[in-house]
């Protein structure tokens, strides 16, 4: 009798252990599939229906071409609601849990529009963090924000795609667009050269005009004495004296503006951790 009780206890214990192990095994694939290995959705997801069918097709082709060329997923997502999340958190999660990212580094950049609160966000990952610095993202915002505010969504997304292509190309060449980027600024030699050219052109034009005017003054001859150019009795000299008495000085305090307006001046990319535990770069705002 006692042996039967022991046998039943051992059997029950084995059943419990088997159940625990089974549940653990079943749970392993679920955890592994939280971040898919392959992309689950196209590079354009227009859930807010902001684009016409022809515009969707055109933009999708453009995003695919840039992504394959640069080996970095370039994505656009529009949503009617962000489900209570911030635009940045939603963009991070959408990128992670839908399997976006190109190559071994899962490199990518995703542009999100949330229409419920009129918010936008860009999230970067992998090589995208290197290519799209804080300064570069700020520059991109300046370029597309006016289109968003005016409701010109196709223009905003096309501008975003073009800028992604340009900044990725510049980064691949070893010079990510950053605070010390001076590609658009002329060098000192060029400025001096064109300054001298402008002066020479101005001098030549002035000389020619002076010669033309001089040739028309046939009755005028050079005079040795200055009196020859003065009309008799026309000059009267008077004396005027100013005396300094006092002065009034008004002082006004100019308040210092300590508010941070955008980029702080440092280079590189700042990162944050998403709900998946991965580090993302990015930028967000309203429109």
Which tokens hold the place of 199? 């002066």
Band of residue 235 on the pLDDT scale cut at 50, 70, 90: low
Of 26-40, 70-84, 103-117, 132-146, which range is least confident?
26-40
User: What does 213-253 look like in DSSP terms, one character per residue?
Assistant: HHHH-TT----SSGGGGS-TT--------------------
Q: Is residue 244 part of a domain?
A: no
Predicted local distance difference test score (pLDDT) of residue 262 = 40
- Please tell me which of 5-14, 23-32, 57-66, 197-206 the model is most confident about, judged by mean pLDDT: 57-66
Q: Is the pLDDT of residue 17 over 60?
A: no
For the chain, give the number of residues: 287
Condensed to tens digits (0 to 9), the pLDDT of residues 81-103 reads: 999 999 999 999 999 999 999 99
Band of residue 227 on the pLDDT scale cut at 50, 70, 90: low
Helices (H), the chain: 2-32, 53-70, 87-97, 127-131, 134-149, 153-172, 188-216
Predicted local distance difference test score (pLDDT) of residue 111 = 99
Q: Is residue 202 part of a domain?
A: no
How many structural domains is the chain composed of? Answer: 1
Predicted local distance difference test score (pLDDT) of residue 189 = 40
Q: Is residue 3 part of a domain?
A: no
CATH of the domain at 88: 3.10.310.50
Q: Average pLDDT in the 151-173 region?
A: 98
Of 17-21, 67-71, 142-146, 234-238, which range is least confident?
17-21
Q: Is the pLDDT of residue 132 over 80?
A: yes
Q: Is residue 146 part of a domain?
A: yes
Q: Is residue 157 part of a domain?
A: yes
Of 8-17, 32-41, 72-81, 83-92, which range is least confident?
8-17
Residue with more model confidence, 213 or 158: 158
Q: Which domain holds residue 107?
A: 44-182+271-286
Predicted local distance difference test score (pLDDT) of residue 256 = 34
Band of residue 181 on the pLDDT scale cut at 50, 70, 90: confident
**pTM for the model:** 0.63
Q: Is residue 13 part of a domain?
A: no
Residue 118 gets the label, from left (phi > 0), alpha (psi -120 to 50) or beta, of left
Condensed to tens digits (0 to 9), the pLDDT of residues 254-268 reads: 333 333 334 445 689
Q: Is residue 190 part of a domain?
A: no
Q: Average pLDDT in the 119-129 region?
A: 99
Are 99 and 134 a contacting pair, CB within 8 Å? no
SS3 77: strand
Beta bridge partners of 122: 111, 283
Predicted local distance difference test score (pLDDT) of residue 198 = 57
Residue 225 gets the label, from left (phi > 0), alpha (psi -120 to 50) or beta, of beta
CA distance 234 to 247: 38
Q: Is the pLDDT of residue 64 over 60?
A: yes
Band of residue 23 on the pLDDT scale cut at 50, 70, 90: very low
**Closest to 72 measured CA to CA, from 18, 31, 15, 127:** 127
Q: Is residue 85 part of a domain?
A: yes
Q: Is the pLDDT of residue 5 over 60?
A: no
Pairing of the two strands 108-114 and 119-125: antiparallel
């Amino acid at each position: 009798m006692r042996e039967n009780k022991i046998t039943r206890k051992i059997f029950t214990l084995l059943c419990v252990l088997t159940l625990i192990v089974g549940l653990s095994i079943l749970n392993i694939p679920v955890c592994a599939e939280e971040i898919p290995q392959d992309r689950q959705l196209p590079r354009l997801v227009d859930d807010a229906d902001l684009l016409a069918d022809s515009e969707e097709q055109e933009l999708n082709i453009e995003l695919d071409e840039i992504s394959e060329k640069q080996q970095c997923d370039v994505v656009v997502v529009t949503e009617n609601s962000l489900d209570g999340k911030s635009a940045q958190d939603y963009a991070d999660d959408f990128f992670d849990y839908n399997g976006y990212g190109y190559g071994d580094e899962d490199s990518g950049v995703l542009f999100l529009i949330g229409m419920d609160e009129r918010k936008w966000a860009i999230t970067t990952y992998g090589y995208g963090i290197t290519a799209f610095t804080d300064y570069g993202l700020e520059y991109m915002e300046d370029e597309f924000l006016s289109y968003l505010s005016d409701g010109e969504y196709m223009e905003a997304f096309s501008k975003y795609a073009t800028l992604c292509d340009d900044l990725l190309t510049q980064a691949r060449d070893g010079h990510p667009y950053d605070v010390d980027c001076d590609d658009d600024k002329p060098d000192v030699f060029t400025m001096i050269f064109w300054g001298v050219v402008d002066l020479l052109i101005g001098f030549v034009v002035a000389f020619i005009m002076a010669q033309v005017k001089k040739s028309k003054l046939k009755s005028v001859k050079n005079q040795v004495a200055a009196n020859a150019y003065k009309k008799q009795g026309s000059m009267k000299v008077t004396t005027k004296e100013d005396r300094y008495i006092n002065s009034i000085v008004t002082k006004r305090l100019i308040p210092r503006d300590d508010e941070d307006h955008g980029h702080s001046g440092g280079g590189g990319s700042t990162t944050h951790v998403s709900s998946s535990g991965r580090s993302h770069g990015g930028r967000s705002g309203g429109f």
